[in-house]
Amino acid sequence: MDVDLVATGDRVRAARLKAGLSQRALQEQCALSQPTLQRLESGVPTRVSLEDLDHLAGLMNVTLQDLLYGSAVRERVRVAARTRGATEVTSALDQAVELLELDDRLDAAVQGLRQHAVTPDLAVPTSGTSQARGRDLAANVRTVLGLGVGPISDLPELLEQLTGVDVGSTPMPEGVSGVCATDPARQTSLVLIDSNEVADRQRFTLAHELGHLLFSGRAHVDAVDGRRSPLEVRCDEFARNLLIPADGVTAWLTRSVGKAERSRVDERAVALLARHFGTTPDAARVQLDRMHLLPATMTSLPSGRTLAYRYGWGPAFDSEQAAASQPRVPRRLLDRAVEAYRAGRLGVSALARLQGRPVADVEQALADTGIVPQPIVRRANMDALVARAVARTAK
């Protein structure tokens, strides 16, 4: 099968830029001259062997087949974004797809450690109002996991335990709270949330996404455009009741302010309640309203930071936000990438890009912990290339 030279050149240029390499820097690491690289990226016919292209692909941390034919993963991945009127979501979706592309490539380098879908032994309500179904599912999750009525300390771990889905965070465009991406061919999914949002909002977004995964059975969900569909209402109710259950509210109020009644719920009590359960003040306010414990005069609340400084944990709040703003790489994916690096099957630049850190810092940190790669030996898999070309021709 003939290779589209122009499309291949575009992919070479895109891969080089994504790897943070100039043509000169790339030329210094491979056997091709800079003029040859320029012709290759321009789609001009030039004498470049498959072995040269395979070496080039390795330097840019892509596969040879993706360089020649494009990403099969990108063609099949389904991605949905949780948005609040955002008009630009492409970069967020691309980040999720790029992680699934890397995970796909790691299959050839790492035996095991792959994500496996989990089917929880969990009753998912199928009837009743959206509010009731969300509330009942949250109660079922807490019962199955033995969480009682207290705060949930590690929400990403809970999400992975219930669904098998990887969780990470990264800066996203304004108005995009999270992205859920699925590679149906590999039964692999991941959830990314916006690291720009405050920690409590990130937790609510994760709980909301868990609701989507449980109600939809890991199926793809279309992007939200601000309209309140029944599913969105269910997932919001699920998230709120998972994070701050009514029985837990009653127990906390009784213990902290003497009795769970409306006259004793002031702004300080709401702020401390939200702090205790690690949720947003607004989520605590709505839950109290659902329980008919909210004073009629309390129609809104200041920001979480304002409440924190008013009632005694302002510096702690700022410290928590600083930690939450650091991007978090999906744990299982990073585990696989480090194993591939250790085996000499993944370059350090790919690991550095995955973590958003300088190459030298990542390489030094790994060396300090005794992780040194075996020498990388790359060979073009000619049989696989021929088989792929034959299969595409047959179509």
Q: Given a cut of 80, is residue 39 above it in pLDDT? A: yes
- Going from the C-alpha of 243 to that of each of 239, 277, 324, the distances in angstroms are 6, 7, 18
Lookup result for tokens 């575009």: 10
Q: Given a cut of 50, is residue 282 above it in pLDDT? A: yes
Structure tokens at 70: 């494009």
Record the pTM. 0.78
Domains of the chain: 5-70 (1.10.260.40), 76-243 (1.10.10.2910), 246-324 (no CATH)
Q: Given a cut of 70, is residue 379 above it in pLDDT? A: no
Q: Average pLDDT in the 324-332 region?
A: 93
Q: Average pLDDT in the 120-137 region?
A: 90
- Going from the C-alpha of 47 to that of each of 35, 40, 53, 63, 191, the distances in angstroms are 12, 9, 11, 20, 43
Q: Are 382 and 50 in contact (CB under 8 A)?
A: yes
- Largest Cα separation within the chain, whole Å, is 82
Q: Given a cut of 90, is residue 52 above it in pLDDT? A: no
Which one of 27-41, 42-56, 166-180, 300-314 scores highest in mean pLDDT? Answer: 300-314
Mean pLDDT of the chain: 85
Please write the tens of the pLDDT for every residue from 165-218. 999 999 998 888 888 888 888 888 899 999 999 999 999 999 998 998 888 765
Q: Average pLDDT in the 290-300 region?
A: 91
